[in-house]
Structure 1
Amino acid sequence: MPLNIVYQPHTLLFRKGAGTSRGVLTQKTSWILRVTDSDKRGIAGYGECGPLPGLSVDDIPDFESQLSSVCDLFNGLDVDVFPFNLSIILDQVVPHHLPSVRFGVESALLDIMNGGCRILFKNAFSAGKQGILMNGLIWMGSFDQMLEQVSDKLSQGFTTLKMKVGAIDFQQECRILESVRGEFDKNDIILRVDANGAFRAEDVSYKLNELATFDLHSIEQPVKAGQEGLMAELCAASPIPIALDEELIGHFDYHAKFALLKKLAPPFIILKPTLLGGFQHTNEWIEIANRLRIDWWITSALESNIGLNAIAQYTASKNNPLPQGLGTGQLFTNNFNSPLTVERGKLFYDLDEDWDLTPLNAFP
């Protein structure tokens, strides 16, 4: 009973421009995978390949051509999938330089292995019994726009806020943090910031010291990835605990992962399965981090609800008590309707809601 995999591009349209230090996103294309079994008609597993522009290893001009080659190779193998051979199939079919493809194929295979009902990991979250604590994300924008986002997230019940920094005037960013801390101390609201590598070597120490006055939980990737000497110094001396994010991208060998974390010794790492090569690679990062006593949390990367659902169910299986960096599915005007809902700063899987994948009816 051979499996067959096909794909279809789906361009996600943002309700508002999503600002980061790398620019403003207004749309993003994902390639949705569908896996079917010739002996089980009407059952399909879905996955999402969504390379992040300007950041993913596989943000490349011929991405679709390489994805097509992966699908052709998979379809030529006449394979069936089980838990014991999933990793073998992934290693044989998907090159490491296509991490988002590996994530998509892995998700689709997990889905069909579990009956093709969008339940990839069976746990209290996917059973609709437990929510996942999240941080509320504050996108870059004008001073007034960012303050409005803060007010909106607080009204929705978020107790952890993560603010993008590094694009507007630094003093204005500090004023926003100051306004939050003027109303809520660190026992009421946890504040994280994400610089996306925007700070320079000559000003990073000054900016970290200024930001430290706001009782921040952590700062993600203060300087660009690849400056290991500088990053090791910052991890050791920063007044704000540093969380590595972009620094992890592109490392697929287990020994290279271990060497990186041992050298930099960060307090936290942030794990994006789409960018890291799926759940098995994410498992390796978690195992190494636990050995080195490094804390971690998991973050989505602007996936549609198909990818977000897979990441959320995986995250719930890890029982990590820290607030996670999961999306809410509400960023896009043309997302897929799903059981994913947000209440009181937590992500839930509402079993009373149905999936609507009708935009994918054009699958060949």
Structure 2
Amino acid sequence: MSQNSVLEFSYKKRTLKFTFDAGTSRGVLRERDVYWIKAYNPKTGIFGWGEAAPLIGLSIDFRSDFEQILNGYLERISEIVWPADEVEVLNLIQDLIPNDLPSIRFGVEMVVLDSINGGVRKYMENDLFEHSKEIPINGLIWMGSEDFMLKQIKEKLGQGFTCIKMKIGAIDFQQELKLLGFIRERFDASEITLRVDANGAFSPDDALSKLEQLAKFDLHSIEQPIMTGQISEMSKLCENTPVAIALDEELIGSKDKAQLLDEINPQYIILKPTLVGGIFQTRQWIAEAESRNIGWWMTSALESNIGLNAIAQLTSSFHPKIPQGLGTGQLYHNNLRSPLDISGGKLRYRQELGWENPF
């Protein structure tokens, strides 16, 4: 889209089916709905792709009338003359789509930027797409029985992952410590980086004692040890913790990034563009965090490969050094075939694989 253009928008709903029961401390996921967005440029014949993927239990725009709202906004923005500049597009979308519709914002950012860049599934300048530069990622261990979790751990280690992230908080805590011990008995912290994600499962009363027990396993970090909204309790934890704390759900729906980071002062933040409002908002979070020497990494929120592609390219544009949470493309029976490929604990974009057409 070398000049300003009007785009014609449409969407398609897809129900993605998990290859297993994906356990979290908030319950088990077996399927989830995503909405693939298409933008057609009648002047050039170019098609852009995007994805709005609100996640049950987390997205502030997960609601029963989501589809009607999405359709209404796509009709509205079909009248917009879109600029050909990335910064102008992102600024315009902030004005067009409100803060309480973060997944729609992200989907529209994707589909318009893809159109601007020629409909080749490129959203911005980045080394993943343009130079096939690998992104290190963590291997994710889902909750379940002790045997199921141990099986996953062995598989991830066998696949060459050097960073393992284990979801905790659903089974007996002592069993979870035993699983971490299984890894540490075989690999020290210089060989395998260990992260855990509590999804708010600990209470403020017992969180510190649990963190002290977890610290024995030389963990890199723990995500969201207590539930969101307990600002003073989380601040105290971050100040006294023996394990670095990463805020995750705490960021969702936050209206003042600077205030939240100043009040809690975490060691890390986790960025999920679908949940925090897309590319523009994610970049703002990173700027605020880096100005305070707070670390960060990017994580997908169980999108299909369309959304994962945009998140991975956004991640790549920051030249990440530490493992990112971008290994979710293999979770579904019916994900869209794509050039995204994982081997040896790294995500690659292999142009030769091509895209399956979702429309």
TM-score normalised by structure 1 residue count? 0.95
Q: 1:8 to 1:14 in 2, by over 3 A?
A: same
**SS class of match (1:296):** strand
Q: Counterparts of 1:69 and 1:129 in 2: how far apart (Å)?
A: 37
Aligned to 2:66: 63
Query: Match for 2:284: what amino acid?
Result: E
Query: Match for 2:197: what amino acid?
Result: D
* Match of residue 182, structure 1, among 185, 189, 205: 185
* C-alpha contact 1:34 1:108 (8 A) present in aligned 2: yes
Name structure 2 gaps, 5 residues minimum: none
Aligned length: 355
Q: Counterparts of 1:213 and 1:267 in 2: how far apart (Å)?
A: 19
* 2:235 is the alignment partner of 1:232: yes
Instruction: Write out per-residue CA displacement over residues 221-261 of structure 1, whole angstroms, 9 at most, x where no aligned residue.
Output: 0000000000000000011010000000002x4xx100110
Deviation for aligned residue 1:83: 2.2
Aligned to 2:325: 325
Deviation for aligned residue 1:34: 0.4
Q: 1:121 to 1:80 in 2, by over 3 A?
A: closer
Query: Match for 1:307: what amino acid?
Result: G
Query: Match for 1:349: what amino acid?
Result: Y
RMSD: 1.1
Name structure 1 gaps, 5 residues minimum: none
* C-alpha contact 1:328 1:342 (8 A) present in aligned 2: no
* C-alpha contact 2:34 2:303 (8 A) present in aligned 1: yes
* C-alpha contact 1:99 1:278 (8 A) present in aligned 2: yes
Deviation for aligned residue 1:79: 3.8
Q: Counterparts of 2:166 and 2:174 in 1: how far apart (Å)?
A: 14
Aligned to 2:216: 213
**SS class of match (2:269):** strand
Deviation for aligned residue 1:101: 0.4
* C-alpha contact 2:36 2:51 (8 A) present in aligned 1: yes
**SS class of match (1:154):** helix
Q: Counterparts of 2:60 and 2:302 in 1: how far apart (Å)?
A: 15
**SS class of match (2:216):** helix
Q: 1:115 to 1:257 in 2, by over 3 A?
A: same
**SS class of match (1:214):** coil
Q: Counterparts of 2:235 and 2:249 in 1: how far apart (Å)?
A: 15
Aligned to 2:297: 297
Q: Counterparts of 2:34 and 2:275 in 1: how far apart (Å)?
A: 13
Aligned to 1:9: 13
* Match of residue 41, structure 2, among 27, 37, 41: 37
* Match of residue 122, structure 1, among 111, 121, 125: 125
Q: Counterparts of 1:38 and 1:151 in 2: how far apart (Å)?
A: 51
* 2:260 is the alignment partner of 1:249: no
Q: Which runs of 4+ in 1 moved over 4 A?
A: none
Deviation for aligned residue 1:77: 3.0
Instruction: State how 1:1-364 maps to structure 2 within 5 Å.
Output: 1-41=5-45, 43-251=46-254, 253=255, 256-357=256-357, 360-361=358-359
